[in-house]
A and B are shown apart, each in its own frame.
Chain A
C-alpha cells in the first residue's frame, strides 16, 4: 500500500514570496490533515478535511495560509506572503473516516530567508 506522498521535500524562499505544498493521501482515506512542525516542537494541526470539506481550521493563519482539497483526494497548502516564522516542516497526514490512526507523509521542509 502506498503511503502519503508530499512534494516538494525541500523549499527555500525569500520572505514575502509565495509557496505551495502538495499532498496525496493514502487511497481511500477520507480525512486529511496539514500540520506545521517548528524545530524542537511537536506538530501543530493547521487544517483538517473530511472528504473535500473543512472540519477544523481554527489554527490556520487565514490571512496568509490557504488550503484546498479538490475532489476529496489531493490537497494543496499555500502560504502567501511567507514570513520568517513560517520556516518549519509541513506534514500531511491521512486517516480512514472514523478511524483514529493518522498516517504521515515525509513532510516538506520550508526555509524562509
Chain B
C-alpha cells in the first residue's frame, strides 16, 4: 500500500543552524515525490519535486532534497534556517492518476 512516513512530529532548531526533515515512502511503482510547506492559516506551497533524473533536487527558499531509492527516502535539507521557515512541512508521494499520499507532517520551530 502507498504511504508516507514522517518520523519527526516536531523539530526545533536555532536560527542559522542546518535542518534535515525525514521522509520515507512506500509506493509500488516509480514514485513522484514532493515537499510542501504550510504556514498557519495558509494552503500548501510546493517547495520542490522529484520525478526522475538527478537525485538531488533544488527547490525554492534554499531547500533541497535527496532521493535515495535504496532507502525509500526523500529527506529535505536546508543549510541555514531562517526564522521565517517556521511552518508545517509535508512530504507527499504520487504517481499515475495524480493521486497524492501525504505524510502527517513535521512542525518546525525556529528559535533565535
Chain A residues engaging chain B, CB cutoff 8 angstroms:
4, 31, 33, 40-45, 48, 55-56, 91, 93, 95, 100-107, 109
Contact = CB atoms under 8 A, between A and B. Distances in A.
**Chain B interface SS verdict (over half):** strand
A103 B104 contact: no
Interface in B12-53: 32, 34, 36, 41-46, 49, 51
Contact of B98 (A43, A48, A103, A104): A48
Contacts of A95: 98
A50 to B, nearest CB: 9
Contacts of A101: 34, 46, 49
Nearest to A91: B43
B43 A105 contact: yes
Given A104-B45, A106-B42, A42 B102 contact: yes
B8 to A, nearest CB: 14
A109 to B, nearest CB: 8
A107 B44 CA distance: 9
Contacts of A40: 104-105
Contact of A42 (B51, B90, B99): B90
Given A93-B44, A104-B45, A106-B41, 19 more contacts: A4-B43, A31-B98, A42-B92, A43-B100, A43-B102, A48-B99, A56-B99, A91-B43, A100-B51, A100-B94, A100-B98, A101-B46, A101-B49, A102-B98, A102-B100, A104-B44, A106-B43, A107-B43, A109-B41
